[in-house]
Every structure is written in structure tokens, then in C-alpha cells.
């Protein structure tokens, strides 16, 4: 598939970068971008050559302004409830696709990350942001419920329910510094250092056992939803046994060097 609203490139062997590419529209999500993102994340599901992904936004205006409301209003007016629900479900499940891909996702955010752009950042595994970054769930500001696009799932788990309530109920902006203090982000850097910091983290991850990265992401995601300690321990035991067994068997040089 030839992408127009996103760009993908290999930065290093094992490291890929996907960039939202509608800079004149603040990288807002159009129907075409939705379809291209669906295709992109589907392809990564079985991509064994890419071990780490960086998600960024092209241009100087910001990471992502959320859904392209100008286009959406035109489309919504022509939709019956069945088609509206189908559109909503497709859009929302992009965040589920991000969680399902085995590669850890490092989100590099500059400027505004609003609505679905905020949810994209939350659905990523590591967030690196520049000092000019700002976050808003925004959904409630346009007459919708404040819980949308997986925000009500990710945000309370990342920062706790207390502040998550306020952020989703008010739609107010959260500064990069506030996000850092809440533990929502991993690194806060100057704008000029954003790309380099994200790549540096990606290189660190890429130096690890590729299967270990995949199983660690899976274990963390499963643990967030696990019913108790025994389930978490069983999953961790399975993962470690698989990795040790692979190393002992020495099936390939890259895996066996870790044991």
C-alpha cells in the first residue's frame, strides 16, 4: 500500500519510524489516514524484522490535533446510526491495534496532542515529549462524552483515576511539565533533542533480545488486565521459560548470545 497521510522509514536495522503526515492540517486524522493506519498496524503484527517503532508527527504545528473535524462533520451528516457506529468502532480500534503489535512503540510528541492524538500517545508504550508539548482529551469540548478512543482505559492506569477524572471531565490542556510530574511521560526534552532522544531509546531497546521485548510488552499489557497475582506470575513464568529454552537450544546466534 502506498501511503500518503503517513510516512514510514527504517532508521536502523530493527528500528522503524511512522510519522503522521498531514502537517498543514496539524496531522489531524482523516478517513484516508484512518485506513492507512489500519493497514500499517496490521502489517506490523507479523513483522519479525522490526523490533522497535517510533511514532511521531511531521511539521512544526504539533503531533496530532485529533480527528479532522471539518471532514468528519460532512461525513457525519450523511451517516445513519449503523454507519456512524461502524466508523466510530474502526477509528477507536486503531489504539487497540497499537497495543496488539509486538513492537514497543516510542511516541515522540511535540506541540499539541489532542483528542485521538492524545489517545495515540497514551496507547504507545513510552512517551518522549518536548517542552512545548500539550495534551487534551478534548472530547468533552465538542459536545461528546469525555471518555473516548480508549482514553478512559489508558489514562487512569497511567496516572491514577484522581487526575484522570479531572482531565477527561474538563478537557483542559495538560502541559509537558504537568504530564512529567504525573508520571505520564518518560522523558521531557527540548524540541531540538526530541528526535535524537527517541532514537537513542529505540537503539537501547533494539540492543535487547527481540523475543524478550515482545514478551515484555505482552506481559505488561496482560498484567494491566489480569485478575490477580497468580495470573501475572504464570504469564511471567511462561515467558522466562520460553526465553531460557530458546537460548539453551541456541537456535540462532542473536538469541543464544544472551545466555
Q: Per residue in 178-225, pLDDT tens?
A: 999 999 999 999 999 999 999 999 999 999 999 999 999 999 999 988
Buried b (16+ CB within 10 A) or exposed e, 60-78: ebbbbbbbbeeebeeeeee
pTM over 0.85: yes
Query: What's residue 180's pLDDT?
Result: 98
Q: How far is CA 97 from the centre of its chain?
A: 9
Distance CA 117, CA 122 (A): 9
| Residue at grid coordinates 505482552 | 218
Average of per-residue pLDDT across 168-179 = 96
Query: What's residue 256's pLDDT?
Result: 42
Hey, where are the domains in the chain?
6-206, 210-256
Answer yes or no: is pLDDT of 258 > 60: no
Query: What's residue 251's pLDDT?
Result: 52
Task: For residue 150, count other CB atoms closer than 10 A to its CB.
Answer: 20
Domain 6-206 fold is 2-enoyl-CoA Hydratase; Chain A, domain 1 (3.90.226)
Query: What's residue 252's pLDDT?
Result: 52
* CB 22, CB 66: distance < 8 Å: no
CA distance to 49, 126, 158, 174, 195, per residue, from 191 (Å): 30, 17, 24, 17, 8
Amino acid at each position: 500500500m502506498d501511503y500518503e497521510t503517513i510516512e514510514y522509514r527504517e532508521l536502523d536495522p530493527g528500528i522503524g519510524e511512522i510519522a503522521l503526515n498531514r502537517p498543514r492540517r496539524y496531522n489531524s486524522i482523516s478517513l484516508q489516514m484512518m485506513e492507512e493506519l489500519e493497514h500499517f498496524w496490521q502489517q506490523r503484527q507479523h513483522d519479525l524484522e522490526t523490533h522497535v517503532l517510533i511514532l511521531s508527527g511531521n511539521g512544526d504545528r504539533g503531533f496530532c490535533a485529533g480527528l479532522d473535524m471539518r471532514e468528519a462533520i460532512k461525513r457525519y451528516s450523511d451517516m445513519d446510526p449503523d454507519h456512524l457506529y461502524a466508523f466510530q468502532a474502526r477509528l477507536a480500534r486503531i489504539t487497540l491495534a497499537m497495543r496488539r503489535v509486538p513492537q514497543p512503540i516510542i511516541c515522540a510528541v511535540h506541540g499539541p496532542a489532542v483528542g485521538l492524538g492524545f489517545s495515540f500517545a497514551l496507547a504507545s508504550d513510552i512517551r518522549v515529549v518536548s517542552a512545548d508539548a500539550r495534551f487534551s482529551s478534548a472530547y468533552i469540548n465538542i459536545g461528546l462524552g469525555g471518555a473516548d478512543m480508549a482514553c478512559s482505559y489508558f489514562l487512569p492506569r497511567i496516572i491514577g483515576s484522581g487526575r484522570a477524572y479531572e482531565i477527561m471531565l474538563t478537557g483542559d490542556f495538560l502541559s509537558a511539565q504537568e504530564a512529567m510530574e504525573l508520571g505520564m511521560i518518560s522523558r521531557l526534552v527540548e524540541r531540538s533533542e526530541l528526535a535524537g532522544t527517541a532514537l537513542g531509546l529505540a537503539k537501547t531497546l533494539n540492543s535487547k533480545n527481540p523475543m524478550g521485548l515482545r514478551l515484555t510488552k505482552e506481559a505488561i499489557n496482560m498484567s494491566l488486565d489480569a485478575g490477580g497475582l497468580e495470573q501475572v506470575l504464570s504469564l511471567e513464568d511462561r515467558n522466562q521459560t520460553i526465553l531460557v529454552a530458546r537460548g539453551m537450544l541456541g537456535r540462532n546466534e542473536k538469541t543464544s548470545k544472551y545466555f
